[in-house]
Structure 1
């Protein structure tokens, strides 16, 4: 189960996913399903201010997607990703 919630833990989006689906594949549709209604007139908010996730969502593609949409993120890097970037040195680190 994948869940997007606000800072108080209230659910904002719960997309249905198959049981064997990888977290990285469900990462992009999750923020796109968020709809927070405004108190007054107007369209609902669709872009979160920040995304906090675990290491399962630390793919380079998902981070690029968040940067492209202007969403701040706090996703810890996997150790092997950090090592690969370090080994590339000036070419990618």
Structure 2
């Protein structure tokens, strides 16, 4: 049950990078739950759900980090503007060439 909750919270918050931490905790708790379910025969479905959701949260968080780094690298020259209008124009030029 805890792995499922951690996985759900991690998946929901993976866009703000906190989800990766919940996801790692969920994977650990889920693996422990899978071992317990193997011994007792109860709770395997919840444990698998927790591991899957938690793994998704970790992957999504890593993807967000890479996309943020890519965006920052592509638009690095645009960070000198203090106003939103020129920044938007510069970002558009850097990303879309026009």
TM-score range, shorter chain: under 0.3
Bigger radius of gyration among the two: 2
Which of structures 1 and 2 has the larger relative contact order (alpha carbons within 8 angstroms, sep 6+)?
2
Structure that is richer in helix per residue: 2
What TM-score results when the alignment is normalised by the length of structure 2? 0.27
- Give TM-score, length-normalised by structure 1: 0.28
Structure with higher strand content: 1
